């Protein structure tokens, strides 16, 4: 099967250095293996999306010299696909409605990864005490599943879903489909064979593999690259007000290349075109630092 990779930013703010690192790793890995590279706008969490952010992200990617294959897929236009997948889970008894509120779940125990573990309140049916509530989330059963997968960089990863997160949400009480379900459906529908993304999403991978198995969908290969963190150890993100990429993209591209510990050229690139000529020829995934987090370079 030919390689198909993807970069899937959320339009909750401008493109920043942390996103650039993920995009660069994903694109270079795909092109170095003669593959296709897709861009998908993950706006399934519509309330958090910012007006104009998607078009700004695409403009910045193009200015940085990224070239993607095919049309850009937008999740908010694909709800029928997610609903069909949920219907399959419900029809086979693998998903069930849940009337618990977020506040009620704040007292649930923490799993090893720092997430609340769902205690199973509605697993055997919504209890009479909360049955009058009209809003329902939908959760997928995890049973005793322990998911193992081999990350190309982080090596063998394992997670017992019942003790890490419990039965997890695939459709929210507000009617929006959860990221975990949407990304699984999209990757399968787009034929994605390899997912290259930040390590912060590594803990989500077992949930996605669980859904892939329940829905009979293929599991891509995974490579989770280090996440750029600020001086306080916080991941660079829109939520932590990471600075938008400057209009001149070359210094940021070079900084991202160095962050990923990739080989320098004989001379510093003088243009975005020169940078890409070197990057696409020199990319070496074996050189990636096998770290979860690394400090971002100053000034990014």
Quick: pLDDT tens for 185-208.
999 999 999 999 999 999 999 999
Tell me if 86 is assigned to some domain.
no
CATH number of the domain where residue 164 is located: 3.90.800.10
Residue 78 has pLDDT above 90, yes or no: yes
| Tokens encoding 68 | 């993607």
Q: What is the pLDDT of residues 10-34, one digit of tens each?
A: 999 899 999 999 999 999 999 999 9
Q: What is the pLDDT of residues 243-284, one digit of tens each?
A: 778 889 999 999 999 999 999 988 999 999 999 999 999 999
Instruction: Give the integer Cα–Cα distance in Å for 263 and 124.
Output: 55
Within a 10 A sphere around the Cβ of 248, how many other Cβ atoms? 10
Both 115 and 169 in one domain: the answer is yes
- The domain in which residue 162 lies consists of 93-177
Both 125 and 193 in one domain: the answer is no
CATH number of the domain where residue 243 is located: 3.40.50.620
Both 228 and 251 in one domain: the answer is yes
Both 137 and 275 in one domain: the answer is no
- pTM of the shown model: 0.95
Both 290 and 194 in one domain: the answer is yes
Both 159 and 252 in one domain: the answer is no
Tell me if 108 is assigned to some domain.
yes
Residue 155 has pLDDT above 80, yes or no: yes
Both 197 and 172 in one domain: the answer is no
Tell me if 9 is assigned to some domain.
yes
CA–CA–CA angle 236, 70, 250 (5° rounding): 40
> Number of folded domains in the chain?
2
Tell me if 206 is assigned to some domain.
no
Both 244 and 258 in one domain: the answer is yes
Tell me if 33 is assigned to some domain.
yes
| Tokens encoding 44 | 């399934």
Q: What is the pLDDT of residues 79-117, one digit of tens each?
A: 999 999 999 999 999 999 999 998 999 889 998 888 999
Burial class (CB in 10 A: 0-12, 13-18, 19+), 71: exposed
| Tokens encoding 12 | 């909750």
Pairing status of strand 168-171 against strand 137-140 = antiparallel
Tell me if 291 is assigned to some domain.
yes
Both 69 and 111 in one domain: the answer is no
Three-state DSSP class for residue 32: helix
């Amino acid at each position: 099967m030919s390689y198909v990779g993807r970069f899937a930013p959320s339009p909750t703010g401008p493109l920043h250095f942390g996103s650039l690192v993920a995009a660069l790793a994903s694109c270079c890995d795909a092109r170095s293996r003669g593959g296709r590279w897709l861009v998908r706008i993950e706006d399934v969490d519509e309330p958090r999306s910012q007006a104009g952010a998607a078009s700004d992200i695409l403009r910045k990617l193009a200015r940085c010299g990224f070239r993607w294959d095919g049309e850009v897929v937008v999740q908010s236009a694909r709800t029928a696909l997610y609903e069909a997948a949920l219907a399959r889970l419900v029809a086979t008894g693998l998903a069930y409605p849940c009337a618990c509120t977020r506040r009620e779940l704040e007292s649930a125990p923490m799993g090893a990864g720092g997430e609340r573990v769902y205690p199973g309140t509605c697993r055997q049916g919504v209890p009479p005490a909360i049955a009058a509530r009209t809003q329902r989330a939908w959760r997928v059963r995890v049973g005793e599943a322990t998911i193992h997968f081999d990350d190309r960089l982080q090596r063998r990863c394992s997670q017992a879903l019942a003790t890490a997160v419990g039965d997890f949400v695939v459709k929210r009480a507000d009617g929006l489909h959860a990221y975990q379900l949407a990304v699984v459906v999209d990757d399968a529908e787009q034929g994605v064979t390899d997912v290259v993304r930040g390590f912060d999403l590594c803990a989500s991978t077992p949930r996605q593999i669980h859904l892939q198995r329940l829905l009979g969908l293929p599991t891509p290969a995974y490579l989770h690259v280090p996440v750029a963190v600020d001086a306080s150890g916080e991941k660079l993100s829109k939520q932590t007000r990471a600075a938008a990429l400057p209009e001149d993209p070359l210094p940021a591209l070079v900084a991202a290349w160095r962050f990923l510990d990739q080989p320098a050229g004989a001379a510093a690139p003088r243009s975005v075109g020169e940078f890409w000529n070197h990057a696409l020829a020199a990319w070496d995934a074996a050189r990636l630092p096998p770290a979860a987090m690394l400090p971002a370079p100053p000034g990014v």
